[in-house]
Amino acid sequence: MRGDYGTAFPALRDAAGKVWQDYTRHAFVEGLRAGSLPRKAFLGYLVQDYIFLIHFSRAWALGVTKAETLEEMRACAATVEALVNHEIALHLRTCAEAGLSEADLFAAEEHPANLAYTRYVLDAGHSGDFLDLLAALAPCVLGYGEIGARLLPELRPDHPYADWIATYGGPGYQQVCRAAGALLDGAIARRLGPDPAATPGWARLCRHFTTATRLEVGFWEMGMAARPLAPADPAA
């Protein structure tokens, strides 16, 4: 089952090829699905995901500065607002339930796989235009939607990762994905016209989408290899 979030997303996903499977069918994901993912891996992922959300919010805010229409600005601003006020708060609650305090999160050192991902997305935005940024943002937003939609139907209530699956498979997040897909389609139509894959700009979008997908794989790898929490750099 694959996410159906507009027109551009499936084309970018196809262009990414096998790496999209590596991401959305990663052992980490299959572990979440089966409930067999080690708790340590999940907690390690949660800690890094907190830092990820901070920088992902920054990247959506960069989108506001690069948008060309009021509608594009509003879509990005709404995402920033949702991330910094709701998602991060929700994330803190999930972490607390898992036994991780805010102090644990603040003390965590940002993993290179995490750094690589968010700073790449930010640089895609700084070096390119609004579309470059959106193409680099899309794999996270829409891939999580696709994973959630695939895992939700087989979810049993006593599943150890029920909350995670219910969040990303649920109607709220699926609506976020449809809106993000529509934002992407509209932004592409405005800038590349009715046949974007035939324009020279298309290859650049594919490159950003594929690289960001590759960095998602690295993020799951980091989760699988998570060690007990390391204290942050004392100079930080």
Where along the sequence are the contacts to a copy of itself (CB under 8 A)? 15-17, 19, 54, 57-59, 61-66, 68, 70, 73-74, 76-78, 80-81, 84-85, 88, 110, 112-113, 115-116, 119-120, 122-123, 126-129, 132, 190-193, 199-201, 203-204, 206-207, 209-211, 214-215, 218, 233-236
Q: How far is the CB of 52 from a copy of itself (least distance, A)?
A: 13
Distance, CA of 70 to CA of 204 (rounded, Å): 25
Amino acid (one-letter) located at 173: Y
Q: How far is the CB of 236 from a copy of itself (least distance, A)?
A: 5
User: 168: burial class by Cβ within 10 Å (0-12, 13-18, 19+)?
Assistant: buried
| Cα 5 from chain centre | 15
Nearer to a copy of itself, 132 or 146 (CB): 132
Residue 74 tokens, joined: 């509003």
14: tokens are 């196809």
CB of 135 to a copy of itself, least distance (A): 11
Judged by CB, which is closer to a copy of itself: 128, or 143? 128
Nearer to a copy of itself, 34 or 189 (CB): 189
* Residue 153 identity: P
**What are the C-alpha distances in Å from 165 to residues 29, 61, 70, 177, 184?**
10, 27, 33, 15, 25
**Do residues 53 and 83 lie in contact, with contact meaning Cβ atoms separated by under 8 Å?**
yes
Q: Between 76 and 180, whose beta carbon lies closer to a copy of itself?
A: 76
State the Cα–Cα distance between residues 204 and 223, nearest whole angstrom. Answer: 29
Could you count the other beta carbons within 10 Å of the beta carbon of residue 122?
17
Nearest distance in Å: CB 87, a copy of itself? 12
- Give min distance, CB of 225 to a copy of itself, in A: 13
> Which CB atom, from 49 or from 148, has the smaller least distance to a copy of itself?
49
